[in-house]
């Protein structure tokens, strides 16, 4: 059996050397360095690229670089890429626990900071592993150095879905994977029906007050082990709620009376609806424009119920001013435009009609008061004569 294994490894080694030798590497043939591995932490997969010439220089080839000691899975083997300079061996595997080529998943928790300071438990999942060289030498000693290439990707599980563009009801975003961010898998859209089949298009004159607005946050192309849980959704008068008046639609277990949660933390989508309103400070504007923001948590299926409990520190539902800065680089675009006046009024919002009406009412009250005083005086004189 040992001889059989030796023959297989020897043939792999010879095949690898025929594919790429030290002379083929030229100037790229050198001793290994810490910078020989590059890692791309994608939203659905992790990609590794290891410079192969230092490994060839040390006595190995791509078939002898083993990912997390998994030798019997074709999907976990490296492939040689000669089309780049220097040439590399590439590994790519999905971010799914149990199917990530032996990668280790470690979830840690810490108190929230900045925009997430209202939450006492913010989670991050770390996906890590190592690519090791396999030495085919049979015997007591070897002259081949052992090579180890470590990788690690940290993915925060709390995101701010932030809205910045007026008159757009939904938008998916495309961005470069920022060392472990699932934000590009999240999107938010507005609908006009409870079945979430009719997208909500903003009318030119805005949405009527008290009209139901249906909101859906969806995770697409995300590993199935995570569900979507909305921790907080709020509206602000500014696209970036920095020193901006805002109103909480819900915070954890505190939900506004006109907000109804339909689904949250039970799948890879969350749904709720609320009634259109306006901000008082926009009373002199024909249309009240405000922006919807949702702080979204990606929780493992087994732990989502823990975060849905109502024993976490949270903010009360109120209208106030945000003093925090938002540093999240990812943006979704959604805005809400609500009417601030009755369309039958002809659009007069300068207050002249109200002033005229108030003057007439005061004049009528004065006349009634004078008439009552004269009638009381006349009645008093009659009583005095009779007595």
The pLDDT value recorded for residue 154 is: 85
Mean pLDDT of 120-138: 84
Mean pLDDT of 142-160: 83
Residue 341 clears pLDDT 70, i.e. is over it: no
Residue 9 contacts residue 17 (beta carbons within 8 Å):
no
pTM here is 0.60
User: Based on C-alpha coordinates, what's the Rg of the chain?
Assistant: 34
The pLDDT value recorded for residue 222 is: 76
Distance of CA 306 to the CA centre of its chain: 20
The pLDDT value recorded for residue 13 is: 45
The pLDDT value recorded for residue 108 is: 82
- pLDDT bin (cut points 50, 70, 90) of residue 330 is very low
- pLDDT bin (cut points 50, 70, 90) of residue 225 is confident
The three-class DSSP label of residue 91 is strand
Mean pLDDT of 52-81: 93
Residue 1 clears pLDDT 50, i.e. is over it: no
Least confident window among 184-193, 269-278, 333-342: 333-342
Residue 320 clears pLDDT 70, i.e. is over it: no
Residue 170 clears pLDDT 90, i.e. is over it: no
The pLDDT value recorded for residue 318 is: 33
The pLDDT value recorded for residue 283 is: 76
More confident: 125 or 198: 198
Q: To the nearest whole number, what is the mean pLDDT of the chain? A: 74
Residue 195 clears pLDDT 90, i.e. is over it: yes
What backbone phi and psi angles, to 5 degrees, belong to 93? -150, 150
- pLDDT bin (cut points 50, 70, 90) of residue 98 is confident
Mean pLDDT of 72-77: 92
Cα gap 293→160, rounded to integer Å:
7
Residue 62 contacts residue 88 (beta carbons within 8 Å):
no
Cα gap 335→244, rounded to integer Å:
15
Please give the share of the chain, as a percent, with pLDDT higher than 90.
25
Residue 367 clears pLDDT 80, i.e. is over it: no
The pLDDT value recorded for residue 364 is: 61
Mean pLDDT of 178-207: 81
Which tokens sit at 9?
């490894």
Please give the share of the chain, as a percent, with pLDDT higher than 70.
64
- pLDDT bin (cut points 50, 70, 90) of residue 234 is confident
User: What digits encode the pLDDT tens for the residues 271-313?
Assistant: 999 988 888 887 777 788 888 888 888 888 888 888 776 654 4
Cα gap 93→264, rounded to integer Å:
29
Q: Measured between alpha carbons, how far is residue 376 from residues 363, 368, 381, 382 in Å?
A: 20, 12, 9, 10
The pLDDT value recorded for residue 387 is: 56
The pLDDT value recorded for residue 89 is: 96
How many CB atoms within 10 Å of residue 230?
23
Distance of CA 243 to the CA centre of its chain: 22
- pLDDT bin (cut points 50, 70, 90) of residue 382 is low
Distance of CA 104 to the CA centre of its chain: 23
The pLDDT value recorded for residue 333 is: 35
| Strand-pair partners of 356 | none
Residue 322 clears pLDDT 50, i.e. is over it: no
Residue 190: closest CA among 330, 296, 331, 334? 334
Residue 331: closest CA among 193, 184, 216? 184
The three-class DSSP label of residue 323 is coil
Mean pLDDT of 84-88: 94
Cα gap 201→204, rounded to integer Å:
9
The greatest distance separating any two alpha carbons of the chain, rounded to the nearest whole angstrom, comes to 140
Q: Is 370 exposed, middle or buried (0-12, 13-18, 19+ CB in 10 A)?
A: exposed
């Amino acid at each position: 059996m040992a001889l059989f294994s030796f023959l297989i490894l020897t043939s792999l080694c010879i095949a690898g050397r025929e594919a790429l030798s030290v002379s083929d590497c030229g100037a790229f043939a050198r001793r290994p360095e810490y910078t020989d591995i590059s890692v791309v932490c994608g939203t659905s997969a992790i990609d590794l690229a290891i410079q192969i010439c230092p490994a060839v220089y040390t006595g190995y080839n791509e078939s002898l670089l083993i990912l997390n000691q998994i030798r019997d899975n074709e999907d976990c083997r490296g492939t040689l890429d000669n089309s780049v300079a220097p040439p590399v061996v590439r590994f790519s595997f999905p971010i799914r626990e149990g199917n990530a080529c032996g990668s280790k998943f470690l979830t840690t928790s810490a108190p929230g900071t900045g925009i997430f300071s209202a939450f006492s438990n913010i989670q991050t999942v770390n996906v890590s592993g190592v690519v090791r060289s396999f030495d085919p030498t049979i015997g007591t000693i070897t002259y081949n150095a052992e090579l180890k290439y470590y990788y690690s990707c940290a993915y925060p599980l709390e995101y701010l879905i932030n809205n910045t563009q007026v008159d757009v009801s939904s938008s998916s975003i495309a961005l470069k994977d920022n060392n472990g961010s699932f934000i590009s898998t999240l999107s938010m859209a507005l609908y006009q029906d409870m079945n979430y089949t009719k997208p909500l298009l903003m009318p030119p004159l805005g949405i009527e007050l008290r009209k139901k607005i249906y909101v859906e946050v969806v995770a697409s192309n995300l590993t199935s082990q995570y569900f979507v849980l909305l921790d907080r959704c709020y509206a602000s008068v500014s696209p970036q709620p920095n020193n901006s008046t805002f109103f909480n639609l819900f915070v954890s277990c505190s939900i506004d009376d006109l907000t109804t949660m339909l689904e949250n933390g039970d799948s890879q989508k969350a749904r709720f609806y609320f009634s259109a309103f306006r901000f008082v400070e926009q009373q002199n504007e024909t249309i009240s424009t405000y922006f919807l923001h949702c702080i979204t948590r990606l929780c493992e299926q087994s732990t989502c119920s823990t975060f849905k409990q109502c024993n976490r520190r949270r903010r009360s539902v109120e209208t106030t001013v945000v003093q925090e800065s938002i540093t999240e680089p990812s943006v979704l675009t959604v805005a809400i435009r609500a009417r601030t006046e009755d369309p039958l009024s002809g659009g007069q919002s300068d207050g002249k009609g109200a002033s005229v009406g108030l003057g007439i009412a005061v004049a009528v009250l004065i006349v009634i008061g004078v008439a009552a005083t004269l009638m009381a005086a006349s009645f008093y004189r009659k009583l005095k004569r009779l007595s």
